[in-house]
């Protein structure tokens, strides 16, 4: 049986084009199209079969991707949610994952990768080939107390700023430190948290309640 997919995007041309692409994949069919979260709320009650995966645009009027993901996670927790965006800003990625998405894909993703991503999401519940190559679901759900990491007050201050949309240069200015010192904090925390990207660092900080967005 084919995997049913829903698409939520306020740009109708992209919405229709993506739906056509999805239906061209051998094992997928489109069960729902909506222009924003509110439109989705109205339409999802009428579908004969709920989508197993929903692709969500991040930036939409009326009800955006984050609010839509939170609502779906609460009312339809079995549906796997995938964020779609032109923006790979770390803060946006983290917000969408925290809202319930199991993957974050850029809108210029190649069709072959999209098909591969949806296949893995259907089978595993997540896709590891997206923005930071991290198993987000594991990072967010693993027991926060399974490992205590010792960090200094300065590292903690850097960690909080690293979870914002500031550049590393701006963080250095905010903390009154050199960029070299900031690089040192970053590399030290990467090692302590066993991550290889700023998104991974931020997710670990959130997971351990060291930082709250």
Ordered structural domains, the chain, with CATH: 3-141 (3.40.50.2300), 153-207 (1.10.10.10)
Asked whether the beta carbons of 12 and 37 are under 8 A apart, the reply is no
Asked whether the beta carbons of 186 and 163 are under 8 A apart, the reply is no
Q: Indicate the pLDDT class of residue 131, thresholds 50, 70 and 90.
A: very low
Q: Return the structure tokens found at 168.
A: 């590393």
DSSP assignment, residue 85?
E
Q: Return the structure tokens found at 98.
A: 């925290």
* Average pLDDT value for residue range 174-200: 89
| pLDDT reading at 143 higher than 50 | no
| pLDDT reading at 136 higher than 80 | no
| pLDDT reading at 144 higher than 50 | no
Give per-residue pLDDT as tens, 93-121: 778 887 888 888 888 888 998 998 899 88
CA 173/CA 98 separation, integer angstroms: 28
DSSP 39-74: HHHHHHTT-SS--SEEEEESS-SSS-HHHHHHHHHH
pLDDT of residue 130: 43
Asked whether the beta carbons of 12 and 35 are under 8 A apart, the reply is yes
CA 60/CA 187 separation, integer angstroms: 36
DSSP 110-131: -HHHHHHHHHHHHHHSS-TTST
| pLDDT reading at 134 higher than 70 | no
| pLDDT reading at 45 higher than 70 | yes
Asked whether the beta carbons of 44 and 76 are under 8 A apart, the reply is yes
| pLDDT reading at 75 higher than 70 | yes
pTM of the model: 0.65
Beta-strand (E) ranges in the chain? 3-8, 28-34, 53-57, 80-85, 101-106
* Average pLDDT value for residue range 156-165: 88
């Amino acid at each position: 049986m084919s995997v049913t997919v829903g698409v939520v995007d306020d740009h109708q041309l992209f919405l229709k084009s993506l739906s056509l692409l999805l239906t061209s994949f051998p094992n997928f069919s489109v069960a729902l199209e909506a222009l924003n979260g509110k439109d989705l709320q109205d339409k999802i009650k009428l579908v004969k079969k709920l989508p197993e995966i929903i692709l969500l645009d991040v930036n939409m009027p009326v009800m955006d991707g984050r609010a839509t993901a939170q609502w779906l996670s609460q009312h339809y927790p079995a549906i796997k949610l995938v964020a779609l965006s032109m923006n790979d800003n770390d803060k946006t990625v983290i917000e969408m994952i925290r809202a319930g998405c199991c993957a974050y894909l850029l809108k210029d993703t190649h069709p072959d990768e999209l098909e591969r991503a949806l296949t893995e999401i259907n089978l595993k519940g997540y896709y590891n080939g997206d923005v930071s190559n991290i198993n987000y679901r594991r990072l967010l759900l693993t027991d926060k107390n399974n490992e205590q990491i010792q960090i200094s007050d300065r590292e903690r201050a850097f960690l909080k700023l690293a979870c914002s949309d500031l550049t590393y240069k701006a963080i250095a200015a905010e903390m009154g430190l050199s960029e070299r010192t900031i690089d040192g904090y970053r590399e030290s925390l990467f090692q302590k948290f066993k991550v290889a990207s700023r998104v991974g660092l931020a997710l670990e900080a959130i997971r351990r309640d060291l930082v709250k967005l």
